[in-house]
Amino acid sequence: MNSQAASVPAAAGHDSGLSLSYGYGTDRGLRRELNEDSFIASDPVFAVADGMGGHEAGEIASGMCVRALAAMPQLATGERSVTAAVIQQYLMKADSSIREATGARAGTTLTGAVVVEQMGMPYWLVMNIGDSRTYRLSQGQFAQVSVDHSEVQELVDAGEITPEQATVHPRRHVVTRALGAGDETEADYWLLPVEEGDRMLVCSDGLNAELSDEHMFRILSTVGHPQDAVDALIQAALRNGGRDNVTVIVVDAKNVMNDGGIATTAPRPGSDAEDEITLPRSQVVEAPRPATAGEDESGEPADGRE
């Protein structure tokens, strides 16, 4: 397993005081010969790409995708000033370089959260193409933020199958959008205010195909340090079969300042941040569940990029 802990205190110039600690890891799993997942975990960008296409082409596609994000100038400075429009530009570059390199025989999913600050307030800018997933544990509620681009999600949306039936459907792995392949390459974006104690989970489908939402929620709400939570999630996926590559990033938010520079745990009422930028198909799925995120401790500083 490739995993390290990282802690990033608020750098000078971050208005909100927000400090992030995070962990990450990836595992080939027990059945696949190659690990075709790629990821980037480097403040302010936390993202997972799941490459598709045999003979290492998937690995090329997912690698190109995260390297395109790593080329954003904000990665060098740690500035939290990325916008959805900027991300979209870099993803379009990734899309054409993947097509060029693989002859459109390979593609990749992408999902994750980018920390952005607007008027001194921190937000999670969540992005998604395909069926990797970004979840959020916030104020005791665990919910998938990203909405899959998959055949089974379309069947669920149409009311033809239940979410439970989708998890065992024979066509559950068919994605309807990807970077580098097919006609549909546009990402969806969501903008959510960061709440004190938020814990984000970004993962490839090798995690959520092996673990129920309840199982992931139980681990995330009981294991304190983000790296320990990552390791526990990956181990649980391997114990349940490890049929696919598994990649996991967990990001914790602390010292979130509200207006007036006072850190508080009170939920912000009716925040309507989505008005501030244009976001296609915005949707947040929230399933209230009775628990709270565990405390964490900071690990050693590390360069989280892969």
The Cα–Cα gap between 79 and 193 comes to: 17
Among the listed ranges 41-49, 194-202, 203-211, 289-297, the one in contact with Mn ion (CB under 5 A) is 203-211
Q: How many residues bind Mn ion (CB under 5 A)?
A: 5
Min separation Cβ 244 and Mn ion, Å? 4
* Residue 205 in the binding site for Mn ion (CB under 5 A): yes
Minimum CB separation of residue 187 from Mn ion in Å reads 18
Residues sharing a CB contact under 8 Å with residue 136, sequence separation 6 or more, in sequence order: 124, 142, 143, 145, 192, 198, 199, 200, 201
165: phi then psi, degrees, rounded to nearest 5: -65, -30
Q: Kindly tell me the number of DSSP H helices and DSSP E strands found in the chain.
A: 8, 12
Q: Which two tokens stand for residue 250?
A: 């967990």
CB of 17 to Mn ion, least distance (A): 36
- To the nearest 10 degrees (0 to 180), the angle between helices 84-102 and 57-70 is 150
Q: Does 50 bind Mn ion (CB under 5 A)?
A: yes
Q: Are strands 133-138 and 121-129 parallel, antiparallel or unpaired?
A: unpaired
> Nearer to Mn ion by C-beta: 95 or 244?
244
Q: How far is the CB of 64 from Mn ion (least distance, A)?
A: 17
CB of 79 to Mn ion, least distance (A): 31
- Site for Mn ion contains 195 (CB under 5 A): no
Q: Does residue 27 belong to the site contacting Mn ion (CB under 5 A)?
A: no
DSSP letters along 254-274, please?
Answer: E--B-TTS-B--SPPTT--GG
Residues 226-245 that bind Mn ion (CB under 5 A): 244
Residue 210 sits in the site that holds Mn ion (CB under 5 A)? no
Interface residues with Mn ion (CB under 5 A)?
A: 50, 204-206, 244
